[in-house]
Structure 1
Amino acid sequence: MKKIITFLTILLASAVALWALPKQKVQADETPVVTLGTSLTEAQKSGTLKTLTAPLNGGNYQTITVTGEDLVKYLNPSGDNFTTSSGVWSSAMIQKTSPGSGINVKILDYNGRDNITTITANQYKNAALTAGITDANIYVTSAIPIDGSGALAGVYAAYAKNGDALNQSQVNAAQDEMNTLSGITQENKKKDGYSDAQLSNAVAGAKSDMAKIGNNISDSQIRDIVNNQIKINHLGDTINNNQKNQIVNVLIEIRNSGALKNGNFKEQAATLSKQIKQNAKGIFDKFNTPENRNFFQQLWDSVVHFFSGLFGTVVVNR
């Protein structure tokens, strides 16, 4: 029986891997938008533009300036305390890609140095997903060491400039999520058996599981999903109960924001999880062996896969 389970696991994993190969084709009719922090000097603006537009290989782009007013507009509703005179240095470029390619984020060095001190690429990805962004390449950099929140505010502003204003409730949830994940990573970064990739994948996986149930998912179902994702990602020895409650509360806020109503949310969340695992293969390859897959995880995967294929959603009655 164990051999059969092992064979089926390998076969299913191979099929999923082939199906999920990322598509990075850029939308030809979309001009990339570069966001520049208002506090940059002229020399820093030039260096930032050079850094962010290098992936375009000479292609066209448009620019917008992100100010303290943008920080107040997009970030303060989630609890930040920026003012209209707050400085902005972190900058970004957003480039729309073909449907199904997911959200890809790369933090670029500025003059050979990574100046984004707090927010990780995976945290940007999860926040962008929650905010309602789909299928995009996002590049982030800063001319000086900074946490990086201004770059994401710039991305929100870029969407508004192109007539695709994001839902503010989702933006608020995205900012709360990013602050929560960043805080948990800071608290656990020196612990053995913990990585930001594991936490980010647990949250992305939880979003995917939530979307399978739908917007009517209950608080208790969200908590069950979080507990399961913590086990799957081998975080049970590092994530404490307070941190777990923070994750549950953020996911409840995401549900309440209406993010799950987006028809692309489930697909984008699943794609994000695959990207995180692919980019951290050294970590996840240790976990994803038949020997390490516990019975609870196998049972959960089987139930979700069966009902997803039969009905397209999982219906759980309590």
Structure 2
Amino acid sequence: MKKGLFTLMAAAAFALVAAATQAAPVHADETWAPVATLGVSLTADQKTGTLNTLENAANVTNPSELTVNGNTLVKYLNPAGSTFTANSGVWSSALVQKTSSGGINVTIVNYNGTNNITTITADQYRNAALTAGVTNANIYITSAVRIDGSGALAGVYAAFAQNGQTLNSAQITAAQDEVNTLSGITSANKDKDGYSDKQLNNAVAGMKSQMASQSNNGSQTLSQNQIGNIVDSQLKDNQLAGVINNNQRTQIINLLVKIQNSGALKSSDFKAQAQKLMSSIQDSAKNLFSKLKGLDTQENRNLLQKIWDGIVSFFSQIVAWVQGLFN
């Protein structure tokens, strides 16, 4: 009898342990030692200069090193349509510090006093990292030669994989589509009144947060029409509704559909990281966003309404005067 009771108790204990294990799966450490991802094409002097530049910016010494080569680009970037080969050169480099909080922060560091990253902005890197599944990381990027900066982004993904946190390939592909889309829109609107890359990236981060909310963290699929409404709302909030053309709006909608299909919204951290990204972008350009918010006050809306009422009244009087000539 005692033996049977002991067996029953042991089985119950085993079941409890198994249930607890399933309820709280083991995760990789939240943080890991800094990693410097260095382009394979750097000369010995450029490699030393790049490493020193990144270490000084991040205030770290002796990070582990990871070489980014053509195969790295092929693995992470070609699925989104890039045409890199195993022989492709890589110069842009990154230093990745995984943190336990603070969101995603990216600093593009000048190399010998010059910003050599020609295409991807810091906020575009941040939005791409968010889509790819990166959480809570300080990322420093530089290049010894003028280059678009794709190699550094591939290096960030490789750094996470090296530390046991392999990112979802579908999300990485969506992230690269995002870089291409946002950098293209920024390039097309360069020097255009009422446009800035910060406005666009803040709007896109807001779209992601809103999508996560409306889809219950990816448990429901949003229709293209619902996503379009979210896009319009965020463009309006960032004073971009009259700046982004219909083609660019469609590009953004298609991008967000890809992000939804990649599974990015299902991460429990996605919404919080998107909101932190928005707050950080706004904090980095307080004057800009204060001005934008000031444009959308009730007082200004009332002023615009008064102007419109005046225009309508003016033309109504002209119409009435013309009609009076024939009466």
TM score, norm. by length of structure 2: 0.79
Deviations 1:119-143 (A, max 9, x none): 0000000000000000000000000
Deviations 1:135-160 (A, max 9, x none): 00000000000000110000011111
Q: Which residue of 2 aligns with 1:304?
A: none
SS in structure 2 at match of 1:95: strand
Q: Which residue of 2 aligns with 1:190?
A: 191
Percent identity between matched residues is 59
Quickly say closer, same or farther: Cα 1:79–1:58, change in 2 above 3 A.
closer
Q: Which residue of 2 aligns with 1:202?
A: 203
Q: Which residue of 2 aligns with 1:48?
A: 50
Give, in whole Å, the separation in 2 of the partners of 1:81 and 1:57.
35
Give, in whole Å, the separation in 2 of the partners of 1:200 and 1:283.
13
**Runs in 1 of length 4+ with deviation above 6 angstroms?**
none
State whether structure 2 residue 88 is matched by structure 1 residue 83.
Answer: no
Q: Which residue of 1 aligns with 2:242?
A: 237
Q: Which residue of 2 aligns with 1:39?
A: 41
| Matched AA of 2:283 | Q
Q: Which residue of 1 aligns with 2:171?
A: 170
Q: Which residue of 1 aligns with 2:123?
A: 122
Q: Alpha carbon RMSD of aligned pairs, Å? A: 1.7
TM score, norm. by length of structure 1: 0.82
Q: Which residue of 1 aligns with 2:100?
A: 98
C-alpha displacement at 1:46, in angstroms?
A: 0.2
User: Residue 284 of structure 1: which of 289, 292, 299 is its match?
Assistant: 289
Give, in whole Å, the separation in 2 of the partners of 1:55 and 1:146.
20
Higher helix share: 2
Q: Which residue of 2 aligns with 1:264?
A: 269
Alignment of structure 1 residues 21-40 onto 2, 5 Å = 30-40=32-42
Q: Does the 8 Å CA contact 2:31/2:100 hold for their aligned counterparts? A: no
Give, in whole Å, the separation in 2 of the partners of 1:141 and 1:58.
15
Structure 1 residue ranges without an equivalent (≥5): 1-26, 298-318
C-alpha displacement at 1:29, in angstroms?
A: 5.3
Q: Which residue of 2 aligns with 1:64?
A: 66
Q: Does the 8 Å CA contact 1:33/1:93 hold for their aligned counterparts? A: yes
Question: Which piece of structure 1 moves more, 47-56 or 194-203?
Answer: 47-56
Give, in whole Å, the separation in 2 of the partners of 1:270 and 1:28.
20
Quickly say closer, same or farther: Cα 1:294–1:224, change in 2 above 3 A.
farther
Give, in whole Å, the separation in 2 of the partners of 1:180 and 1:98.
30
Q: Does the 8 Å CA contact 1:31/1:60 hold for their aligned counterparts? A: no
Give, in whole Å, the separation in 2 of the partners of 1:208 and 1:89.
33
Give, in whole Å, the separation in 1 of the partners of 2:96 and 2:31.
14
The structure number with the bigger radius of gyration is 2
C-alpha displacement at 1:98, in angstroms?
A: 2.3
Structure 2 residue ranges without an equivalent (≥5): 1-28, 302-327
SS in structure 2 at match of 1:92: strand
C-alpha displacement at 1:28, in angstroms?
A: 9.5
| Matched AA of 2:171 | Q
Q: How many residues align?
A: 268
Give, in whole Å, the separation in 1 of the partners of 2:285 and 2:172.
27
Q: Which residue of 2 aligns with 1:274?
A: 279
Q: Does the 8 Å CA contact 2:58/2:140 hold for their aligned counterparts? A: no
State whether structure 2 residue 141 is matched by structure 1 residue 140.
Answer: yes
SS in structure 1 at match of 2:151: helix
Q: Does the 8 Å CA contact 1:131/1:170 hold for their aligned counterparts? A: yes
Give, in whole Å, the separation in 2 of the partners of 1:144 and 1:158.
22
